Amino acid sequence: MLLYYEILFGLSILFSLICVFMWHKHFDVNITLVFFLVPLSTLSYVAMALSENLQEAILATQIMYINGVFTILFVLMTILDLCRIRIPRLVRGLLVGITVLFYLPVLTIGRNEMFYQSVEFTKKNGVAMLTGKEYGVAHELLMQWIFLCFLFCMVALIYSHIKKNDVSHKVIYLLMIPVLVAMGSFFIGRMITKDIELVPMAYVFAQFFYLLIVYRLSLYDINESGIETLVQKGATGFVSFDYRLKYLGCNETAAKWLPFLKELHVDESIKQNPKCQATIMTWIRDFNEGKSDDDNHIHYNSEDGTMILQVSVNHLYDGRKRRGYQLFITDDTADVKNIEFQEKFNTVLRFEVDQKTERILQMNDHLLISMATMVESRDPFTGGHIKRTSAGVKMLIEEMKKDPELTLSKKFCQYVVKAAPMHDLGKIAVPDAVLLKPGRYEPEEYEIMKSHSAEGARVVHEILKDTDDEEFRRIAVNVAHFHHERWDGKGYPEKRSEHDIPLEARIMAIADVYDALVSKRVYKEKMPFEKADAIILEGMGTQFDPSLEKYYIAARPQLEEYYKSQLNEDATQTSEKEEK
């Protein structure tokens, strides 16, 4: 029997290590907790079997119960998250609190009769166990709570199977099987055998099924291909399929342009769907056979004939692994009509070329902002920093443009505002262990984080090196490189001072620090505007260029009004999410 528990413990460790190998930050935290608790649970059964006296056996039992009661809670949380059933944080906290209250009487075993009225310690074939148990009221309440959690799990799974098309039925089945097995082992296991416990085997069995779920999770998360807002609401449609041509999902834009996608269910094969055969399967076949053009572009007339869509087929990547196909769909109606117009009316060729050039420049701008936003998305603690600092730079520039004594060119002003979103691109090279640390940095970690400015300059230079606009490239590189320099020479990375720091970087520094002060961070709460203003003004002549003080003061009412509106907007969005 001891060997049985040791084998289960070994398997649970193995499955947890496999999960660690497959893990990435988009996985649900409750799955991680399950893979942490199961090895601890199986270890407690080994400890029970090896106990030498009643006190050791009671301690092992208390660990068993804490694992048992919290494992089913985290399983419930996992099911709710994977089935996209949103519950308020308050309710989640209440569930945890109730579970803790029901567990606390377990700690009284051996001291009073609240949980066990009586219990005995025996050994059979060298394996320790507790016998002669007479259960108290607290034990019965705990069992009822565990049964209720199991019931919640089944209700959520059945509801999702019937009502939710955006959840894979395969995942629902993979979640349901271990729940049923665990229920059976937990409540009727003792009726089957009294020599061994079936519960730890059910836990390890559940681990195996969760590994299968973890393997599929990245496929269902199509937001991996971009920032969620850009993916769901942007001007590009995304559709994903695995290599067996099973539908994985699409964003709202793709569903609007290709209405037949709304009829598909996640994990449904498109091989037998007539509309998909005539479109998607043909596009994928041409892509595999190399029949599409050099850019993998295909034109498709929408069903209502009002749009000409451009479809690009590529491989779907999970990290470096190819896992299927992804379609990128854009509205190319304007481009196609422009080409036709040029063929008919050569007299407007220059106008059309200028239009196209402007559009390309806009696309480049959107690409740069998207890249900066994607880099920012790695850091969960500074959300919205790019948007807010860019707004701050624009306000400062607007005040500077009003000064007749300054001779700032129109291009310079435009380029500084345009470059602002790229000031933190260097964070792409900062390791996750430092960037995602939920607290203040240690000195060596801070040195690593400080490297992002020089690295950002290198990245921006590489991105823009082939552009014809040398002035914009120089300004963008300077903003990324020197926005952490100080007027007194105590900044980084080169400890430049005063006018050795480019003007564009001095402007960026004020907007960057202001946002850091008045925004919430993981290590601090947001600072009142009055206090932040005092710090900025105090820093004029030490941290900041004193000649910029009057422009900051002029822009201050706009800054405060803007940040107040952002706070109201964030509060509204949070309220709407909680209501949903």
Dihedrals φ, ψ of 116, to 5°? -115, 120
Residue 446 has a pLDDT of 80
Residue carrying the six token digits 């080409």: 339
Q: What is d(CA 140, CA 128) in angstroms, rounded to the nearest whole number?
A: 24
Tens digits of per-residue pLDDT, 451-494? Answer: 889 998 998 888 888 777 889 889 999 999 999 999 999 999 99
pLDDT at 217: 66
Domain 2-220 fold is Rhopdopsin 7-helix transmembrane proteins (1.20.1070)
Token duo for residue 577: 């999410």
Q: Residue 159 corresponds to which tokens in the numbers above?
A: 């509801």
Q: Name every residue whose Cβ is closer than 8 Å to that of residue 447 and which is 6 or more positions away in sequence.
A: none
Percent of the chain with pLDDT over 90: 25
For the whole model, what pTM was predicted?
0.43
Helix/strand/coil for 246: strand
CB neighbour list of residue 146: distance below 8 Å, 6 or more residues apart: 68, 69, 72, 186
pLDDT surpasses 60 at 308: yes
Q: What distance, in Å, lies between the first and last C-alpha atoms of the chain?
A: 49
Q: Which helix (H) or strand (E) holds 186?
A: helix 169-192
Return the CATH fold of 223-344: Beta-Lactamase (3.30.450)
Phi/psi of residue 527, nearest 5 degrees: -95, 140
Judge whether 432 and 26 are in contact, CB under 8 Å: no
pLDDT on residue 194: 66
The whole-angstrom separation of Cα 155 and Cα 177 is 14
Mean pLDDT of 103-107: 91
If pLDDT is split at 50, 70 and 90, which confidence band does 516 have? confident
- CA 403 to mean position of chain CA atoms: 44
Q: Above 70 in pLDDT, residue 192?
A: no
CA–CA separation, 580 and 578 (whole Å): 5
What is the domain partition of the chain in residue ranges?
Answer: 2-220, 223-344, 356-579
Which fold, 356-579?
A: Hypothetical protein af1432 (1.10.3210)
Q: Give the CA distances from residue 300 to residues 161, 283, 292, 426, in Å, rounded to whole numbers and listed in that order.
A: 34, 10, 13, 39
Which DSSP category does 130 fall into?
E
Rounded to the nearest angstrom, the gap between the alpha carbon of residue 104 and the centroid of all alpha carbons in its chain is 34
Confidence of residue 381 (pLDDT cuts 50, 70, 90): very low
Token pair, residue 474, equals 């120089």
* φ and ψ at residue 120, rounded to 5 degrees: -130, 155
Determine the pLDDT at residue 348.
57
Judged by average pLDDT, the poorest of 151-165, 212-226, 470-484 is 212-226
For 179, residues 6+ apart whose C-beta sits below 8 A from its C-beta are 75, 79, 150, 153, 154, 157, 206
Task: Tell me the CB-side half-sphere exposure of residue 544, using CA atoms within 13 A.
Answer: 22
CA atoms within 13 Å, Cβ hemisphere of 402: 11
| pLDDT, tens digit, 9 for 90 and up, residues 116-128 | 888 888 888 778 8
Beta bridge partners, 524, equal 521
d(CA 482, CA 454): 8
